[in-house]
Structure 1
Amino acid sequence: MNQAFDFHKKAQASLWTAEEMDLTEDRLQWTNWLTPAERFILTQVLNLVQRFSAEVRIPEFRMFYNFQVMMENVHWEVYSLLITMLILDEDEQYHLFHAILSVPCVQAKVDWVLCWITSDASFASCVIAFATVEGIFFSGAFASIFWLKKKGMMPGLTFLNELISWDEGLHTDFACYMYSCLHHKLLDITLTNIMNTLVNGVLGLSVPSMVQYIKFVTDRLLVALNVSKIYNMDNPFEFVKMISLEGKMNFFECWVSDYAKYAKVFIMGEGP
């Protein structure tokens, strides 16, 4: 299982911590630059990812996943930090941290996840559900924040978004690798139905371009799992081409913060 160990080492090389995030400028821009509509969208994004970072756990991934759990805890910590730094109203903070109890769309997403990790579903189904969570659930949220990067706004948040999207891309790659190693795989129709129930029944998307983007991402994940596309959609968002969710990527060395933390960062496009 040398390839699995390589994934573990890649995860180690990407280690970063909440203390490395400088959100000073973001707090000023949140108050003075963002429109109410933009603040609302980001509030929903922060809420969604913070909740799932706390809820989703599948322990079977052993060495790689043990490291992944640690990184998901870092994600949870920094999203919590963002909420407390950007949302100054304590009642709104409480609402966001407890949205799983009060917001039906958040509860529906959590229920979808728990259905696959607490039921009698096969291990193959669990792996596919996990790949779907890592590869599709957050792609819309990442796209929303990359849109801010295109506008040159919220530098701390958008840098954090790059780090987390890299992490989730690696988690997706590992889930696809795990699935490729299984002897008892799902029928293609069963696999696509798992994703289709999420895209068309749970995510609750309404903006046409975002619907198209999520379907594009879903097709990309299906191809990574050696299954035919079901939507055949093009990417409507040119500004998110660098999101690290594809299966074959190259690495280059770069400095990821003023702490001189050395890490590996994905470049999209070419295979090894």
Structure 2
Amino acid sequence: MKLTGKTSVRENIKLTEDPSYPIFKELYEKQKKAIWFPEELNIQQDALDYQSLSENEKDLFDTAVGYFCSSELLVQNVLVNTFFPLLTDPHAKMSFSTQLFMENIHSDFFEIVLQSFGMDRDKMYEVAFEDPILRKKQSLIVDAIDKISQDGIDPDTIAGQKQILKAILLNNIVMEGIFFYSSFAHFFALKDMGKMNNVVSGVELVLIDESLHLQNGIEAILIMLDENPEITEDEAFVNEIRDLILEGAELEIEYVEHKFGDHTILGISFGELERYLKYITDRRLQELGFEPEFHITENPLRFLQKEDVKKLINFFEVSSTEYTNY
């Protein structure tokens, strides 16, 4: 059995004490312990902070909220429409279906944020469509995924395995591991200023979840490469995967340059964010076995180097006891 393929619904309906992919049993347990509910956060208490934001700060905050409102739902669509139906292992299904549930929680959280501050719902959900660079970011994901989900694939072929791997990469690595991590920095900058503490507490929980989703994707890709060594022998495809990660990073850098320009907003500049994104991209590359592109080994954002946040950016090193904050 391989991690992905065509199966009958009667197959793989037995859990064993010796799972084929123990990492997904472990990740399921970690995600299960990380479940939280946005109603437990007193987001309304941040209303005065929200009103006190400058025009640029409020625009950055609103755009981040609007981007997450639609993007969390996009992640769900990608999961459901592409690789989740092709997972063969019950523990892998449990891990990724828990991710799917957590995306619902995230959608709920950002919905509560926009309601709490009286944001324009239609405008928020159109952010990723009306901003030309955000639309390019989303199109990088959507255009490739639609080719897979609408054209259909044969998961029992190498070509099919490549397409599944690409879908996982775009969803769990590029979107959740680069695009989302970029916006997280904007929220943590607010925390560093002593503003929007309750909202940022929720974002901290979202980040912990996303670090697990990132690991879901990385482990799935590494397993697929191990099971299909022919993929790694295809130099053109390997380069395409690396280029996709770099293309995602370039789009995100283009976006933050567009938003920040030569202004300092929330105490951070475009130059700092650019280095942060290159740092994150190098991490993504190395986690998949590539050489780093930018050779930035330390997070350049000082407020993310603080001890109280460091546990959140170590990606996979947070112990499960640190998840149950609420």
TM-score (norm 2): 0.72
The verdict on how the C-alpha distance between 1:157 and 1:247 changes in structure 2, with shifts beyond 3 A counting, is closer
Which has the greater radius of gyration? 2
* Superposed displacement of residue 142, structure 1: 0.5
Letter paired with 1:35? S
2:321 is paired with a residue of what secondary structure? strand
Higher strand proportion (structure 1 or 2): 1
Q: Is the 8 A contact 1:18 1:78 kept in 2?
A: yes
Shift of 1:98: 2.6
Q: 1:135 aligns with which of 167, 177, 185?
A: 177
5 Å-filtered alignment, 1:151-166, equals: 151-166=193-208
The structure-2 alpha-carbon separation of the partners of 1:247 and 1:104, relative to structure 1 and needing over 3 Å to count, comes to: same
Deviation at 1:232, TM superposition (A): 1.3
Decide whether aligned partners of structure 1 residues 37 and 13 sit closer, same or farther in structure 2, where only a CA change above 3 A counts.
Answer: same
Unaligned runs of 5+ in 1: 262-272
1:205 aligns with one of 251, 256, 260: 256
Answering whether residue 60 of structure 2 is matched by residue 41 of structure 1, we say: yes
- Offset of residue 254 of structure 1: 4.7
CA displacement at 1:209 relative to structure 2? 1.6
Report if aligned partners of 2:67, 2:125 keep a CA contact under 8 Å in 1.
no
Structure 2 portions without partners, runs of 5+: 1-20, 85-92, 149-161, 258-269
- 2:124 pairs, out of 78, 96, 104, with 96
Cα–Cα, structure 1 residues 101 and 133, in superposed 2: closer, same or farther, change >3 Å?
closer
Cα distance in 1, alignment partners of residues 70 and 241 from structure 2: 25
CA distances 1:104-155 after superposition (whole Å, capped 9, x unpaired): 2332222111123222461221222121211101111111111111122111
1:23–1:156 CA contact under 8 A, matched in 2: yes
**TM-score, structure 1 normalization:** 0.85
Residue equivalent to 1:193:
243
Distance change in 2, residues 1:225/1:245 (3 Å): farther
The amino acid of 1:10's aligned partner reads: K
Say yes or no: does 1:119 pair with 2:169.
no
Partner of 2:260: none
Q: Answer 1 or 2: which has greater helix percent.
A: 2
What secondary structure does 2:312 align onto?
A: coil
Deviation (angstroms), 1:194: 0.6
Pick closer, same or farther for the CA change 1:52–1:168 going to 2, 3 Å: same
**1:245-260 maps to which residues of 2 (within 5 A)?**
246-251=314-319, 253-254=321-322, 256=324
Equivalenced residues, count: 254
- Percent identity between the two aligned chains: 19
Distance in 1, Cα, partners of 2:45 & 2:56: 20
Which shifted more, 63-72 or 164-173? 63-72
Deviation at 1:181, TM superposition (A): 0.4
Aligned AA (1:77): D
Distance 1:238 1:252, change over 3 A: farther
| Deviation (angstroms), 1:235 | 2.1
